[in-house]
Amino acid sequence: MNRLLIVGDALLDRDLDGAVSRLAPDAPVPVVEEPREWCRPGGAALAAALAAGDGREVTLITALGADDAGATVRTLLERIGVNLVDVGNDGPTPQKVRVRASGQPVVRLDYGERRGTIATPDPHALSAVRSARAVLVSDYGRGISAEPAMRDALEEGAEDGAKLVWDPHPRGAAAVPGARAITPNLAEARHVTRAGDTADDVRTVTRMATDLRTQWQAHGVAVTLGSRGALLVSGDGTPLMVPAPVLAQVTDPCGAGDRFAVTVAGSLADGAVLSEAIVAAVASASEFVAAGGAGAVGAQDAQDSDATRALPEDHATAHDIIAAVHQRGGRVVATGGCFDLLHAGHVQLLADARRLGDCLVVCINSDDSVRRLKGPGRPVVREADRSAVLLGLEAVDAVITFDEDTPERVLSELRPDIWVKGADYAVTDLPEAPLIASWGGHAVVLPYLAGRSTTSMIQEALRHARH
């Protein structure tokens, strides 16, 4: 992976997360009991941390205050290998403190809102900006991208062919001319273009992106639209709509914009064209928020959990969903099977299973597992496509693939509250029932729609093919 230079405003994010079981006696507000606290880099510092996590060599040029918060940000970034260039700031380092109850936000407290005076970057820092081949400006409205010498260096770099991505802020500076991509969210695009229309349809967003591209003389503008994906206007002005993948419910979107911008900048640095970079960024941001967003990154660092990191990569999303549901006191439902050639019986079973709890995880046999169970002609649909089809159903929150003949191992890791099987099983005949009961869960049976089966569908298709 190629190097990435980030210029922007670093913040300190602090999370306090505890349990709530009662209201305060003196006011109708929740009492957050025994909160655990952890700190994480925020703003441009989060962008640098994400890029470093991608395996990049990252330099962050920022302006920290000479305070405890600034020292904490410095320590956090040095710990993960970010090369930090602090030009200095006589104001405070901003802090954003989020108080949460079992993962749900209760209130946010902001400190250090006063903007200080940013020192002129030294010649070495300015030279690094001018010579960088890939630059991300992560503007959080604190002023480093508006500092005159820094702005001149960014503009010279863009003129010289640097792949410059500008992630704007309503209180920040306009991008320098020649940026390869501007990555506002919808509210930021509306603010910059002073669009009075509050509509968010494709035509309206395209008009805002086109206006912003002209106003800031950028090669392209990608407006992020949350769960809808992103819309890119570049080249001849024809919009490219990149939908977000259908993933689990989002519990914390914090940091999604940073994840998006970092992926765009990194992809361009590695030689992707702009449309390819936007497609990659939508997928990356969607996966990021499905896994818990920036808060999950901080929580994992604080917990330092070997058990969590030991989970295979394809378990991460389901594990995070289950943890969030259990934190809220909800019930996790799981079911399993091959789900080869999805039919109406499957869809009805999944919808019925989802209504038994607060999320549904589907455990599917891998291709090798299906082949062992069903014979050399199966599966008809490969596991990646079976997973994608299942995730497209409203009832399904996550899909897990297992390679064994039975799902006991994956169930032991996920520990659902309810295990559902279809067809004519009796609960006592379910081989997984004793395992589910060992942690207090329950196994239940739901009927399939009569006459629906994958085998009969395959036989019917072969009969028609012979005629």
Please give the pLDDT value at position 455: 57
CATH H-level superfamily of 313-460: HUPs (3.40.50.620)
Report residue 280's pLDDT band, with 50, 70 and 90 as the boundaries.
Answer: very high
Q: Which residue has the higher pLDDT, 72 or 446?
A: 72
* pLDDT (0 to 100) of residue 308: 31
> Does the active-site annotation cover 258?
yes
Task: Indicate the average pLDDT of the chain.
Answer: 85
More confident residue, 196 or 381: 381
Q: Tell me how crowded residue 465 is: count the other CB atoms within 10 A of its CB.
A: 7
CB neighbour burial string for 347-371, b if at least 16 within 10 angstroms, e if fewer? bbbbebbbebbbbbbbbbbbbebbe
Q: Looking at domain 4-295, which of 3.40.1190.20, 3.40.50.150, 3.90.245.10, 3.90.480.20 is its CATH number?
A: 3.40.1190.20
**Catalytically annotated residue among 13, 17, 86, 258:** 258
Residue 426's CB is within 10 A of a number of other CB atoms, namely 8
pLDDT at 423 over 80: no
pLDDT (0 to 100) of residue 424? 53
What would the pLDDT profile of 121-169 be if each residue is shown by its tens digit?
999 999 999 999 999 999 999 999 999 999 999 999 999 999 999 999 9
Specify the DSSP element, H or E, that contains 316: helix 316-327
pLDDT tens, 330-378? Answer: 899 999 988 887 878 888 889 988 988 899 999 999 999 999 988 887 8
Domain boundaries, the chain: 4-295, 313-460
How far is residue 169 CA from its own chain's centroid? 20
To which residue do tokens 């959990």 refer? 305
19 has pLDDT over 90: no
- As a whole number, mean pLDDT of residues 244-255 equals 68
Q: Is the pLDDT confidence value at 303 over 70?
A: no
Hey, is 443 helix, strand or coil? Answer: strand
pTM of the prediction?
0.66
Q: Which amino acid is at 206?
A: T
